[in-house]
Amino acid sequence: MVLKILHASESKSARVLHEAALVDVTMSVNNPLLCNDVNVVGSLNPFRASVDLSVKHFFFASSAAVYGDSKPAKRNEDMLPKPILPYGVSKLTAENYVQVFNDVYGPETSPCDTLMCTGAGKVLYPATVQ
């Protein structure tokens, strides 16, 4: 759907903001292949379309899950990534593709880490994963 919209656009967009993802951490554990398909392959499609359409800047919404199980108050973007669940791995993989697309294909790209944007009462990692 997004690709059809990008390709159907008559004007070249200066910016693309990609926020789509499978964010269900439990589902990522139960079905890591689906998580990879949605979060990695599903990110490569708009990256590639953005290159093809000469988009000037591509923003990618990542996740604090790439930092693993650190306490929210201690998370910052200078930390080394250490995901502990498939969801975090998929977001980190897509982040790495963002950098590769920037280096290889040219459009300026920005991974945007959404540190502590889970909302009141939300838990990044459930206590139990079934």
* Catalytic (active-site) positions: 87
Which helix (H) or strand (E) segment holds residue 29: the answer is helix 25-30
Looking at the DSSP bridge assignments, the partners of residue 112 are 61
β-sheet bridge partners, residue 61: 112
Strands 108-112 and 57-61, sheet pairing: parallel
Name every residue whose Cβ is closer than 8 Å to that of residue 123 and which is 6 or more positions away in sequence: none
